[in-house]
Amino acid sequence: MQLGAVLGRVGHIGQDFAKKCLFEAAHAIYCRNLGGGRLRDWAKAIAERTGPRKAKDALANELAVTLHAMWRTGTPFREDAVI
């Protein structure tokens, strides 16, 4: 397995605390009305096909990719640029 490999979940190699925080954020977006309307709609569509756990994992992964892009470019979050 290569560094950073993903096997259907956030990532098997990496910091456990970071993965936990990303999954908790994904759970909050998925289950509560805490913003992220487009992300929630996207995750709910995935949940219809695969179930809520995989949808939350996909949402956590999308959050990680978005955060990395924001840090790399120094740009603020824009929901219209996600998904």
**What number is the average pLDDT over the span 6-21?**
69
**What number is the average pLDDT over the span 62-73?**
91
Q: Could you give the percent of the chain with pLDDT greater than 70?
A: 80
What is the b/e burial string over 52-76, where b = at least 16 CB atoms within 10 angstroms of the residue's CB? eeebbbbbbbbbbebeeeeeeeeee
Distance CA 18, CA 37 (A): 23
80 or 42, greater pLDDT: 42
pTM over 0.85: no
**Domain residue limits, the chain:** 16-76
- Using the predicted structure, report yes or no on whether residue 59 has a pLDDT greater than 50: yes
